C-alpha cells in the first residue's frame, strides 16, 4: 500500500499557533505530512529560509510523521518529487478562500493529479497571521497567545535586531 503523503506549504515567517493547529490536524489525517517552507517573492522576510525550517522543526518535533523542508521550485513540482498528491491550505476567512481557490485551479492545470485540501482554521486563530505576530513583536508585546512556546524567544530576539 502506498503512503498517504500531504504537503503544507507556506512562508511561515514565523510559524504561528494557527499554522501549528493546521499541522497537528493534518498530521492526524495523513501518514506523512511535509511542511514546506517556500520562497514568497512578494514578501520581505524576517527570518531566512534556513531559520524558518529550524524553528518549525523544533516546534513539530512532537509529531513523528511530520517532516520540514524548504523548496525554491513550484510547490506542485516539489510535491511530485516527494510522492505527495494532496496540498493542505489553511483558510482563515472568505478572503483567503478567494485567493487560494484561484491558486488551486492553476496548480490543477499544471499538475492534474494534485488535489488541494482546504482546512478551515480553528476559530480562535482566525485573526492570526505571521504579519500580526511580527507587528506585536516589534512593539515588545507578549507572544504567548500567538506563536509556539518553543520559538517565542527566537522571534523576540530577531525582531529586536530588526528595529
Distance CA 40, CA 46 (A): 12
Cβ-contact 144, 152 below 8 angstroms: yes
- Grid cell digits, residue 55: 524553528
Active site residue 130: yes
pLDDT of residue 40: 74
Domain ranges of the chain: 5-162
CATH 3.30.420.10 fits 5-162, yes or no: no
Indicate the pTM of the whole model: 0.93
Active site residue 82: no
**Catalytic choice (43, 124, 144, 157):** 43
DSSP reduced 3-state for 130: helix
Active site residue 52: no
Q: Which residues of the chain have pLDDT under 70?
A: 1-2, 41-42, 162-163
Distance CA 106, CA 150 (A): 36
Note the pLDDT tens digit of each residue in 35-44: 999 987 667 8
**Catalytic choice (58, 82, 92, 108):** 92
**Catalytic choice (121, 130, 134, 158):** 130
Residue with cell 480562535: 124
Active site residue 43: yes
Amino acid at each position: 500500500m502506498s503512503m498517504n503523503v500531504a504537503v503544507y506549504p507556506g512562508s511561515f515567517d514565523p510559524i504561528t499557533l494557527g499554522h501549528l493547529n493546521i499541522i497537528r490536524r493534518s498530521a492526524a489525517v495523513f501518514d506523512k505530512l511535509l511542511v514546506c517552507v517556500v520562497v514568497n517573492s512578494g514578501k520581505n522576510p524576517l527570518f531566512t529560509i534556513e531559520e524558518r525550517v529550524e524553528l518549525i522543526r523544533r516546534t513539530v518535533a512532537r509529531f513523528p510523521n511530520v517532516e520540514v523542508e524548504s523548496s525554491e521550485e513550484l510547490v506542485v513540482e516539489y510535491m511530485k518529487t516527494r510522492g505527495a498528491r494532496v496540498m493542505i491550505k489553511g483558510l482563515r476567512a472568505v478572503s483567503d478562500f478567494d485567493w487560494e481557490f484561484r491558486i488551486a485551479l492553476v496548480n490543477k492545470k499544471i499538475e492534474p493529479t494534485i488535489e488541494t485540501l482546504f482546512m478551515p482554521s480553528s476559530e480562535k486563530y482566525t485573526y492570526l497571521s505571521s504579519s500580526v505576530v511580527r507587528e506585536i513583536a516589534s512593539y515588545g508585546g507578549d507572544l504567548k497567545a500567538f506563536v509556539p512556546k518553543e520559538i517565542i524567544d527566537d522571534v523576540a530576539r530577531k525582531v529586536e535586531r530588526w528595529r
